[in-house]
A and B are shown apart, each in its own frame.
Chain A
């Protein structure tokens, strides 16, 4: 049996307040390579906290998180950052493209940090853009693109570093239904190429496309059949 991409065991995350808030309560989750999973839940349910923990942006208060078999909770800041850059591709609701840079430069940003060869970077960026169907917009600045195009550029950037996990936070939250459809089709294509995708959403249309659905409520995870 292959090593799971994500293995959460008894993860808790408390925020200091009076009384303390428990955003994640004893979460256990296993995501295997090639899984396409949706995490659904209303706002305030702990979705964002779970995403931050999964993206190595935040540390859980207790429990164990193994990413590709590597125990992350004991890693120091620098090692977690390197692991994040190498293994996780992020797709955000608000795209997070740099406004003054071209589409290609935005995609190439994924290889600026960490140990990536500079040689062939432009070719790899163009290939990633082709993969998301944006090969015809390489010299554009993000301000001249539609929302759906921007999100596809952001996905190309996430794919650029060849991550083992694509972590998407409300990827269609700012898109109309036609663009949503295009992005979801793209996810289906990437899934069929073997990429592990984890989407956090509150839209049923998005979660319906995923193979696995997990509902989160008050920090407690329940897998839906």
Chain B
């Protein structure tokens, strides 16, 4: 039997009952769609989560400097050295202590019995490039610079919440805040911090003013790196900051992007994969069932074909091909629907759709395989039929 004849006979057999064939594919369509959507959404969402990590976490390194009474482990100047490392975009040194975290700050020295005059705020000494490292935004005024530091100007920059608590909204009259009964000029208000958001409620002072509040030594270094450089910088940072005491610094690096992706996919995949596989099995049972019914209806046709010289193998091949074609059709439709669904979901969420091209190609093949397996038993039944019985 010519392979083209086999193909033509199977196609004709499938198309003879188009509605039944279409309904039979439904199970496979559902199964394959579920599988493609599951894998596609998982890959898309996984990629998306990694994308967000890239912005916030994947480029952020924090170095905690333990406090020792003998000496400073990290000098304020060392932070400038750190920026010479390739991949470091910005680095900021902070100093904060338990004592400086609870200081009473007042906006004026009037005693107003109707108002709570003082607010308990944290005072943090920071190097001037804090804005860049925390991706913050100056809401008013300016940040202090190297000049303020060298001159030991008594200036502060307020975090946005601290400013609100103190009732300071405008800087055009050069307002002052009083800490430990000393006045400090407010020259800026910083807000929109994406990192170290706790600093929004803090009073930021130049490092040279820090000693007023017992803040002599660097306690923490914030580092912002280029994308992908975090892992490398995390290994180098401690040595660059404090060559003699590198081992004592505690470097907190973001999780590797690979782990983030795997973690995200594991959660989504498991359940839905099982769902998709169950639908596929249901689809296979459906194909097997309908093919069996079809064969029972076509007993006379099988008998005729046997009389015309069809061998048992010819009969089995025809019905196997028919059920495989039904499965393949379901697979193609399912893969298409699944891809459309993934792209739609991604478009609605403004995500980048991610779909493994091998998955899109393997899905129809999986559908055909389901059809083939489902057709095995019915095809065997058809082939085993005796021509005498089939023609009766």
Contact = CB atoms under 8 A, between A and B. Distances in A.
A57 B309 contact: no
Contacts of B5: 112, 118
Which of B1, B15, B307, B314 has most A Cβ within 10 Å?
B307
Interface stretch (A77-85, A186-194, A216-224): A77-85
Given A100-B12, A100-B16, A118-B4, A84 B309 contact: yes
A55 B2 contact: no
A52 B388 contact: yes
A90 B12 contact: no
A110 interface: yes
A90 B388 CA distance: 13
Nearest to A82: B309
A199 interface: no
Nearest to A98: B301
B305 A113 contact: yes
Question: How many B residues are at the interface, by size bracket?
Answer: 20 to 34
A96 interface: yes
Contacts of B1: 112-114
B45 to A, nearest CB: 47
B311 interface: yes
B308 A110 contact: yes
A81 B12 contact: no
A8 interface: no
Interface in B294-316: 300-301, 303-314
B231 interface: no
Contacts of A105: 12
Contacts of B313: 78
B387 interface: yes
Contacts of A86: 309
Contacts of A113: 1, 305, 308-311, 314
B308 A57 contact: no
A29 interface: no
Nearest to B303: A96
B391 interface: yes
Contacts of B308: 85, 90, 109-110, 112-113, 157, 161
B64 interface: no
Nearest to A116: B2
Interface string A102-130: 00010001101110001000000000000
Interface residues of A, number: 29
B54 interface: no
A66 B301 CA distance: 28
Interface string A144-175: 00000000000001000100000000000000
A114 B309 contact: yes
Contact of A82 (B9, B303, B311): B311
A98 B387 CA distance: 17
Interface string A15-53: 000000000000000000000000000000000000010
Contact of B2 (A77, A88, A94, A118): A118
A91 to B, nearest CB: 10
Contacts of A212: none
A90 B301 contact: no
A137 interface: no
Given A96-B304, A98-B301, A113-B305, A58 B388 contact: yes
Given A57-B388, A58-B388, A84 B307 contact: yes
A101 interface: yes
Contacts of B304: 92, 96, 98, 109
Interface in B156-190: none
B300 A96 contact: yes
B263 to A, nearest CB: 55
B18 to A, nearest CB: 10
Given A88-B307, A90-B307, A105-B12, 12 more contacts: A55-B307, A84-B307, A85-B309, A90-B308, A92-B391, A94-B300, A96-B300, A96-B301, A96-B391, A112-B5, A114-B1, A114-B309
Sorted from nearest, which 4 A-B pairs have the closest CB atoms?
A: A85-B309, A100-B16, A113-B309, A96-B304
Interface of B: 1-2, 4-5, 9, 12, 15-16, 300-301, 303-314, 387-388, 391
Interface of A: 52, 55, 57-58, 77-78, 81-82, 84-86, 88, 90, 92, 94, 96, 98-101, 105, 109-110, 112-114, 118, 157, 161
29 contacts: A55-B307, A57-B307, A57-B387, A77-B312, A81-B306, A81-B309, A81-B310, A81-B311, A81-B312, A82-B309, A84-B307, A84-B309, A85-B309, A88-B307, A96-B301, A96-B303, A96-B304, A96-B391, A100-B12, A100-B16, A109-B305, A109-B308, A112-B1, A113-B1, A113-B305, A113-B309, A118-B2, A118-B4, A161-B309
